[in-house]
Structure 1
Amino acid sequence: MMRDQAESLRNMVKKNRSVDFQVISITSGKGGVGKTSFTVNLAYILQKMGKNVLILDADLALANVDIVLNEKPKYNLLHLLTGEKNINEIIWSSKYGIKFIPAASGFEELANLPKEQQMFILNSLQDIYYSFDIMLIDTSAGISESVINFCLAADKTVVVTTPDPTAVADSYAICRIISNYNTGNMELGLVVNMTDNEKEAERIYNATNNVIRKFSGKTIKYYGCIRKDEKLSKSIRERFVLTSRYPNSKYSQDLEIVAKAILEGNLPEKKENFWRRILNNWINLKFD
């Protein structure tokens, strides 16, 4: 059955239409570092830059994107998996214009989907991706098989951390794992969130980059930092998009710089798209 699914996905990949579409995975070694708020606000900034952006909430059983956006989507990935709705029918457009594919909260079975169902979700995404310029994948926190697969298949992976020592240690760990498995041209970079100043952020980046270079011989990019901003806590409590309401805040100014740094990174490889990469990784991991 799995081989049949893989062959079907292979055939679908060959029909790919877009060469400019970018996939950016956003991940973290631990929760509580502001990853989902970063993803939503990054989507808003990219949208203001003229990009057509879609967010995939890939924390399948603990949805957060809808909470940050203060939205109550009618449908989610569970409706896709049960066949009640197709992929176009579950895309939700927020009042900010940000489009996202909602996950579902409180469904334990979604946390450990059979590979056939994970492949089905990926296959379904091909029906809509060429309508967008960028897909942001908000992964679950931590190191899991699905997180690593999404990161390896992306054009760019952004690891979000904070100066908290446990967050820094966990960011070391996830960067090492991704670097060790990254045999392609996926660009891996670090963003230091909730920092006091850029000097502190650069110190954390340099330490992380030195560890990665020592153990894998590779390097990671520095996408920048986002300074502490009391308005972020307010936006989370009151559920509004900070970059929309306070475009001149420290958070908004810093995130715009980070967004430009991410866009100015390596361009996607035209010879191999997201679905081919994730399929190849999947086969290497699961069928060898």
Structure 2
Amino acid sequence: MGKTSIVVNMGILLASRGKKVIVLDADLGLANVDVMLGIAPKLTIKHVLDGQCPIEDIVLTGPAGVKIIPASSGIQELADLNPEQQISLVNALDHFDGDFDYLIIDTGAGISRNVMYFNAASQRVIVVATAEPTSITDAYALIKVLRKHYGIKRFDLIVNNVTSKVEGDHVAEKLIMVCDRFLGDVALEMLGSIPHDKSIPECIKEQKAFVGVHPTSDATKRLARIVGRLEESTKTSPGGNLQFFFRKMLLNQAKGTSHAGYRVHGTY
């Protein structure tokens, strides 16, 4: 279950619990969310940014009623939004203020301007890592840049594709230790781990949501527990509405999010 698959299935689990959820595919030049669910959008975020239609015209409905804002595939100019496009996107997203309980953003891999822009604006940043050394290094790199350049001190962690809970805990301990040693004031909270499941790639090939096809699997149960933890902690988290998100996006744009060029993979 990759990063995008986790986002999609988390959204479906939240929606199935009666929450109003919208997923923004923020890998703007390489659409993945709609592809994963077998949905073919006629309009995408590019049409909105080009002024061809309002954002409500591009919204898709997925399993359990989760809403999706689709990205465009193979559109190079969307891979690095300019300031005017950023403001245009903020203004478009403002249409949904008050309509949803959760806005879940699936960013692209790397530490490009787009990735930093969306992460820095979010109320919570969830980092997805595996037990592979390169993935752990990439996760730390993302945390380091967000801390150094954007002042973000709190992160959540999901360890993916583990062989056991012990392995997941070990990865979390490694990351926490490195953050404590080199970043000092960063708080990294382990939300949980998701076990390897050979059925997940099959669902991806069939373009079906894993939690719907295998609702009683260990992977679904683990992800459901993670979603439950997020729900509980969100109840006590300050400043969680969409307007807060928009203000942070505009603030980041005003600062000039110029820390592009760093690239990592396997993080969210």
TM-score by length of 1: 0.83
Secondary structure of the residue that 1:61 maps to in structure 2? coil
- The CA distance in 1 between the partners of 2:69 and 2:193, in whole Å, is 27
- Which of 153, 177, 192 is residue 210 of structure 1 equivalent to? 177
How far 1:269 moved relative to its partner?
2.1
Superposition map of 1:171-190 within 5 A: 171-183=139-151, 187-190=154-157
Counterparts of 1:280 and 1:191 in 2: how far apart (Å)?
A: 28
Deviations 1:94-119 (A, max 9, x none): 25422100000011111123210121
1:148 equivalent among 91, 116, 122: 116
Amino acid aligned to 1:122: V
Report how many residues are paired.
254
User: How far has the Cα of 1:130 moved from its partner?
Assistant: 1.6
CA drift of 1:161 comes to: 1.1
- Give unmatched runs, 5+ long, in structure 2: 259-268
Whether the aligned pair in 2 keeps the contact of 1:87 and 1:128 (CA below 8 Å) is no
- Residues 158/68 of structure 1: CA separation in 2 closer, same or farther (3 Å cut): same
Task: Give the corresponding residue for 1:274.
Answer: 245
Tell me, yes or no, if the aligned pair for 1:155 and 1:187 is still in contact at 8 Å.
no
Query: 1:252 corresponds to which residue?
Result: 220
* Matching residue of 1:43: 11
Once the two structures are superposed, the pairs formed by residues 217-236 of structure 1 within 5 Å of their partners are 217=184, 218-236=186-204
Q: Distance in 2 between matches of 1:281 and 1:45?
A: 31
Q: Secondary structure at the match of 1:273?
A: helix
CA distance, structure 1, for counterparts of residue 107 and residue 63 of structure 2: 23
CA positional deviation for 1:179: 2.6
The CA deviation at 1:149 is 2.0
Task: Name the stretch that deviates more: 94-103 or 80-89.
Answer: 94-103
Q: What percent identity do the matched residue pairs reach?
A: 33
**What do residues 68-120 of structure 1 show as CA deviations (whole Å, max 9, x unaligned)?**
11100111011112222101111111254221000000111111232101210
Structure 1 moving runs of 4+ over 3 Å: 181-184
Q: Distance in 1 between matches of 2:148 and 2:195?
A: 30
CA RMSD, 1 decimal: 1.9
> What pairs with 1:1-288 in structure 2 (closer than 5 Å)?
34-183=2-151, 187-217=154-184, 218-265=186-233, 267-269=237-239, 273-285=244-256
TM-score (norm 2): 0.89
Gaps spanning 5+ residues in structure 1: where?
Answer: 1-32
